[in-house]
Structure 1
Amino acid sequence: MNPNVHSLVGAYALDAVDDLERAAFERHLRDCDDCRAELIELREAAARLPDGTWAVPPPRLRDSVLTAIAHTRQLPPTEPAVPPAGTRPSRRMRLAAAAAVLVTAVGTGTAVYAVQDHRVRHEHQLAEAAQASEARVRAILAAPDLVVRDQRLTSGGRVTVASSRLNDAGVIMLAATGAPAAGRVYQLWTIRGGVPSSVGALHQGQSAVVQIVDGLPGSSGVGVTVEPAPGSTTPTAPLDALVKLT
């Protein structure tokens, strides 16, 4: 069991603890105001991840999506890594697995309902792109060398960064407690050699995103800022969060 019971709050919020850790953390939770407050924030952030992705689909959507699925080559299932006999997955790997489930749920909702904004002829391409993106996120989060770090947002919420040198890529998961004020957006940055580089700005009203970033393990940090829409060429100080990778 992790000797620092405070560090179990993230895994507990994602239901990624075993029975012994759950019992120990729940006993600790009775007497720790900080952990209770952080647990509430994490659960609220997770609940807000689908915000902005749900809409009532048009009547033709169901038939067109089913038609696309019938003619789309499905990707083969990814074989999970099997730990040696007599061992159990580490907390880090359980947390990554829980994050993968959460990412898949968010990504699937976004991909399916984004079809509403495109012509029917693009639905097939969108379905394939969503499958490929989901498969890649799962592959990165299942990497044996995965490193997961996170940081609170000053504005409320959390940003989690998972990186793998074997894949030379990483995943940035932003879950803010709310969108910035009107006319402003969240923007993600990687920092290499002290120089920030934008890896994407969210849309107005958007408070959550899952972003794959190639070459992420070569960066020293990941920053989050609030910028004037639709985004900036350089980050506005102060940063809303900075996740140090080295």
Structure 2
Amino acid sequence: MTDDIHSLSGAYAVDALTDDERSAFEAHLEHCAACREEVDSLREAAAELTLLAGEEPPPALRADVLGLVSTVRPEPPRLDDRRARRRRTWIAAAAAAVVVALGVGVGVTRPWEGTSQGPEFTVAEQIARADDAQRISVSFDDGAVATVLRSQSLGRAVIETSDMAPPPEGRHYVLWLQDSDGTMHHAGAMPDEAGDTTMPLKGDAASAIGAGITVESDPRTPEPTSEPVALFSFA
């Protein structure tokens, strides 16, 4: 997977990502307005370009286009080079238009949609507006506060921290969702700087009965290796 997730917008617009890339990019879209705007512009441009398709394309063109869109990745946008960004946007849109004209189903979804809140709201805001929103806070001795917001109907949860001290050097804050059997499921690792952070928890928060934070040497550890520094009960 590319190190710059922003560069996946063009490939996402033409459905040319792997399952892992698509999942990562859709999670990224929830809190990146710039990428949401770019994906929307690609779709709009592709829709306009499809109106120009007036004749039946040769049979070989379909295979050629699909081969290209599955391998080409646009360069990440640079704020100081808007002309190049627009050029990449229209190239990707043209590819999307050709794919649509060839009768290929481009399954582009908007994961930030599907709720009454719309794309202008973050996950945290969507949860806060839900009828079943829960807010559980834990205070630390140094005055820091960690809060988990959860909506069972949305199946989502986010964590918000305020003035949280960074973990010890070489260690990481790891988030967990706890199921009804007491098993803790990895839900992501917080940024090393901690401080004031808002981030979604990965996994199904609908069936979870709680969440937790541990301090780990490996941020990808599949199970906790230390006692939680904070626990949040959804009961």
**TM-score in terms of structure 2 length:** 0.46
Task: Return the index of the structure with the highest Cα Rg.
Answer: 2
Higher fraction of helix: 1
**TM-score in terms of structure 1 length:** 0.44
